[in-house]
Structure 1
């Protein structure tokens, strides 16, 4: 037996040999997806292995694990990458899959984890017209953890005095105020992108992503994201993740070591998109315009990615599936839907909806045209035979029409008749009730400003939004009458009052709001909570009448519920004869006003105050 000093010496000698051997083995700077699942409908997963300091092109890969095989190994232009596709059979068990790499006589093994797909059918819910979405820009809502305002190794820290800088809002701040959001009466949160945006400046908005698998650590990281989603679900709130397929940030790790030049649309000199989304559906389009629209960069810091590369296409689709399964999100809002390759986007949506049939996706189609918007919705019969597979589209024509209708004099086709004309075109949509309707968002002027800072007009617009067809979306601070001009983005992305330690007032409490803000808040809260239990408003038949004297009347009706909506956009009280509406009233003699809870006679006529919405449950 060796003396103890010699045993210790031998032990440390062996440790040093192991350590030296480990140093000689290649390590990976990126493995994406970082893990996968058994039980997915598509049994294959393509894994990206990357080492920026090593040549991986000569490696071969093998697997010895029950139910798992390698179907393909691919190299690319850049030898720092290797793509290995695993086939995971239905019989495979969750565990660590040893992927063994060999180059000549040298071998090393990477333990790739596969987990069991969640069997909870209620975990991922989707969203529909029974929901109301509440859009939050995380950096500007509430700072729950000042300790993550600045992170070593990340370019930007929080500086609230800089309009285009980071202000320190985070996911804990949102989690801390879910009671406020729940109390307001919305049913789902749409968060502007939370993934890492480690750009050198002005990326607080989240649309210049630098890591597709990492939530920004200044928001709290992946664990904070899962935590806020779980808390939302426990409170009956859904979560919609904002995603970007068109571009990445120029400081994305891929940009510093591209797998192949073709992953990014590159030009001899910087070439910007023409931003003309209608070009994609234009039957007379020129190749020049279409190429510039799809391939041009969104901005100097947002390289345009090429989704037609098969490896990159799979990478992007898998990233979406990974977030759905890992985080349990209920839906996706897809940024700039018409900008990426439209055939890739159709395949992406098809795969996602096949894997999660209960899911929903809304694509941002920023075009003020009913026909062009409808082009992008699933089920549309397009002349070019294109099928997007996209269930929901953003209804920008709706958004642009409402302020016009409220602010202009009544005429043959103006005033309230604009709302009638808008909805009369719904025959174009495969399903207009799946349109995402809204009055403003993070990129445009606040609705209160668009309504001329007139609280009565503001209420009229909200009443229309929350009682007509579609899936309504509200923007944080609307309930506080925030009124920023969209000509400068920071104006419409101001901090929520009370979200930061030391704020002079807190609008999260009634005491911290002005009288006008409480009036707006109470109006919204009453309508939102009432709406939750109204199947007629969710999916009921809509019958509307041509506005006369700038009064718009419509009915929502299901088997058991009937709602009459009267929108008086005049600056004086009007007496409305009920004779034209007998086909919908069908002899009903009374109703109850949702806002005032007063009984309303529906026999002959109704007096409607100036700039007032009457929402009447017909009895």
Structure 2
């Protein structure tokens, strides 16, 4: 009998151990949170085999488990917590029980928020963004070129392959970036893209909480943010709410039947972004735009599923808090569910009222772009909380203004004037991000047919115009894509970023005379812009180009200075009549300073001379 009891006790112990071993948590996201957040709610995704069979519990002052959501897949639980403002930083166990026995426990941490986190200041009009495709900028750590377990290795011979650029390379280049006059970094996504091929760009995310190991680690990303803060510089994260990568970890076991749009059989988006504001649009067309996939390798996320919506919102806030971010660039803004995007922007700005976000709406029509900006009164009542949008209409107009023959009505510089005149459509045109090019289009120097004079004119306009300038890496050294408009060529390696390069933009070695001049020119322009409040927040006034005269003048001014930009597309020098300018802007000033040369410019007469195929940029101190 004693032997039987002993056997039974051992059997029960083995059974208990086996039960304990049967459950484990493979993922819990977010893995930690913070005490004292503005919004007291928190969603936690828990993933592990059979985890839905367990019942979670929490015992910690100020933290309560409000709801546990089971879904179709038995391997998920979604926990909704309330973290009261009285909750203190510390850690607690989340216990997962079955029949009142603890099967699994997870030690969860509430971190202490950094002082001033909630009132963080986002990027603003005093900043200039430097856009970098990390894989193509600088390879600072060759040890992560190949990472065991990730599907795609190094292949520099392939324009669409991994080339090895990383966060270490960016950190090693901060002296150069700061010296050039850039104040803010926007990196194409650095989150994990564990795809079989073509994932160097970062837009096919396979883990929303992990930095891609070929770029570095989460700790490296945080360190980059810290290094930037030491220099009074800022970091903008590139996010995607619309889609993930087809090899995202959840794709083998989707939580619900509606986790994705067209989950039973994908179809490509129509790209009809106009359906978002079209008063006559059919529901059929709306759905095929918003729910369609970009490509088969980028499944379209269904933000109408409240679990998915919350997952994306908390992931966004986690990254802002974790990495001490200064802004978000939101990819493909008009493609996700637009009601969700309204709520997403509201929640982010509720948590960080002084933060900044810019959305990508790639349209040359300002009526479409302006729809998404905060405080825009839309005919359909749609409300957005996003401070800024990318000014694609102005980018398009700038290239046409520099390329087109001004003798044709409405072309050339008049096109630029007319596009700025459309600013009445925006709730706040000063919050637009303006740019000569980006990672998705041909290089600016290629777009303007490698005309060096037009390059300088375009860069000067970008530095002076209202809005927040963004410059793509390599634009400052005239990088081109002469052979094709392939993204792989557009996102070429930055000269000097690899040891085998014969040219080096960091030292000037191997650059052409024009490249060196363009680099010096950009450096002068951007460093001047840093200290000129008139081009940050000053008023704008422009004087319309007379038909076919090839001249356009734009002013920025505040109580400290007046900035005058005169653009001359004519082959010959022009004496520009400044009497109208004196009446409305310049006043009694008789002298200014040429921003580029540092020479004095007389304003005592009736005209100023502007060289052919060039510009004059003058600052007049008050």
Give the TM-score normalised by structure 2: 0.94
SS of aligned partner of 2:51: coil
1:287 aligned to 2:288? no
Residues 543 and 555 in structure 1, CA contact (< 8 A), matched pair in contact too: yes
Question: In the alignment, what sits opposite 2:4?
Answer: none
SS of aligned partner of 1:418: helix
1:573 aligned to 2:576? no
Quick one: structure 1 residues 124 and 144, their matched pair in 2 at CA, closer, same or farther if it must change by over 3 Å? farther
- How much does 1:87 deviate? 1.4
Question: In the alignment, what sits opposite 2:61?
Answer: 66
Residues 119 and 352 in structure 2, CA contact (< 8 A), matched pair in contact too: no
Question: In the alignment, what sits opposite 1:596?
Answer: 597
Q: Which moved more, 1:132-141 or 1:539-548?
A: 539-548
Q: Which moved more, 1:107-116 or 1:164-173?
A: 107-116
1:82 aligned to 2:80? no
Residues 125 and 238 in structure 1, CA contact (< 8 A), matched pair in contact too: no
SS of aligned partner of 2:96: strand
- How much does 1:110 deviate? 1.8
Q: Which moved more, 1:545-554 or 1:118-127?
A: 118-127
Question: In the alignment, what sits opposite 2:36?
Answer: 39
Q: Distance in 1 between matches of 2:416 and 2:21?
A: 70
Question: In the alignment, what sits opposite 2:448?
Answer: 451
Question: In the alignment, what sits opposite 1:115?
Answer: 111
Question: In the alignment, what sits opposite 1:500?
Answer: 498
* Residue in structure 2 matching 1:482, options 475, 479, 482: 479
SS of aligned partner of 1:189: strand
1:93 aligned to 2:94? no
Question: In the alignment, what sits opposite 2:405?
Answer: 409
Residues 243 and 298 in structure 2, CA contact (< 8 A), matched pair in contact too: yes
Question: In the alignment, what sits opposite 1:615?
Answer: 617
SS of aligned partner of 2:348: helix
Residues 257 and 263 in structure 2, CA contact (< 8 A), matched pair in contact too: no
Q: Distance in 1 between matches of 2:523 and 2:158?
A: 33
- How much does 1:39 deviate? 0.2
Question: In the alignment, what sits opposite 2:563?
Answer: 563
- How much does 1:289 deviate? 1.5
Residues 165 and 204 in structure 1, CA contact (< 8 A), matched pair in contact too: yes
- How much does 1:91 deviate? 2.0
- How much does 1:487 deviate? 2.5
Q: Distance in 1 between matches of 2:452 and 2:485?
A: 22
Q: Distance in 1 between matches of 2:191 and 2:528?
A: 35
Question: In the alignment, what sits opposite 2:321?
Answer: 325
Deviations 1:356-387 (A, max 9, x none): 11110000000110111111111111000001
Residues 332 and 361 in structure 1, CA contact (< 8 A), matched pair in contact too: yes
Question: In the alignment, what sits opposite 1:3?
Answer: none
Quick one: structure 1 residues 506 and 350, their matched pair in 2 at CA, closer, same or farther if it must change by over 3 Å? same
Q: Distance in 2 between matches of 1:491 and 1:162?
A: 10
Residues 23 and 50 in structure 2, CA contact (< 8 A), matched pair in contact too: no
Question: In the alignment, what sits opposite 2:538?
Answer: 540
Question: In the alignment, what sits opposite 2:521?
Answer: 523
Deviations 1:119-153 (A, max 9, x none): 23599431111111000000000101111011111
Deviations 1:244-283 (A, max 9, x none): 0000000001111100120101265431001121221111
SS of aligned partner of 1:592: strand
1:437 aligned to 2:444? no
SS of aligned partner of 1:199: coil
Q: Which moved more, 1:218-227 or 1:280-289?
A: 280-289
Please, which runs of 5 or more residues in structure 1 have no aligned partner? 1-12
SS of aligned partner of 1:469: coil
Q: How many residues align?
A: 603
- How much does 1:561 deviate? 1.3
Matches within 5 A, 1:296-311: 296-311=292-307
Matches within 5 A, 1:392-431: 392-411=388-407, 412-431=409-428
1:238 aligned to 2:234? yes
Matches within 5 A, 1:185-200: 185-200=181-196
Question: In the alignment, what sits opposite 2:330?
Answer: 334
- How much does 1:106 deviate? 2.9
Quick one: structure 1 residues 449 and 226, their matched pair in 2 at CA, closer, same or farther if it must change by over 3 Å? same
1:372 aligned to 2:373? no
Q: Distance in 2 between matches of 1:572 and 1:73?
A: 74
Residues 277 and 366 in structure 1, CA contact (< 8 A), matched pair in contact too: no
Residues 278 and 367 in structure 1, CA contact (< 8 A), matched pair in contact too: no
- How much does 1:530 deviate? 0.4
**What root-mean-square deviation, in Å, do the aligned CA atoms of Structure 1 and Structure 2 show?**
1.7
Question: In the alignment, what sits opposite 2:467?
Answer: 470
Q: Distance in 2 between matches of 1:181 and 1:288?
A: 47
Residues 342 and 388 in structure 1, CA contact (< 8 A), matched pair in contact too: no
Matches within 5 A, 1:123-202: 124-202=120-198
Deviations 1:443-475 (A, max 9, x none): 101000111101110000001111011111000
Q: Which moved more, 1:201-210 or 1:277-286?
A: 277-286
Please, which runs of 5 or more residues in structure 2 have no aligned partner? 1-9
Q: Distance in 1 between matches of 2:335 and 2:297?
A: 16
Residues 279 and 293 in structure 1, CA contact (< 8 A), matched pair in contact too: yes
Q: Distance in 2 between matches of 1:112 and 1:555?
A: 55
Give the TM-score normalised by structure 1: 0.95
Q: Distance in 1 between matches of 2:426 and 2:210?
A: 37
- How much does 1:224 deviate? 1.1
SS of aligned partner of 1:212: strand
Q: Distance in 2 between matches of 1:176 and 1:392?
A: 30
Residues 551 and 567 in structure 1, CA contact (< 8 A), matched pair in contact too: yes
- How much does 1:17 deviate? 8.1
Quick one: structure 1 residues 92 and 395, their matched pair in 2 at CA, closer, same or farther if it must change by over 3 Å? same
Deviations 1:531-569 (A, max 9, x none): 011111011111110113111112111011111111111
Question: In the alignment, what sits opposite 2:98?
Answer: 103
Q: Distance in 1 between matches of 2:52 and 2:224?
A: 41
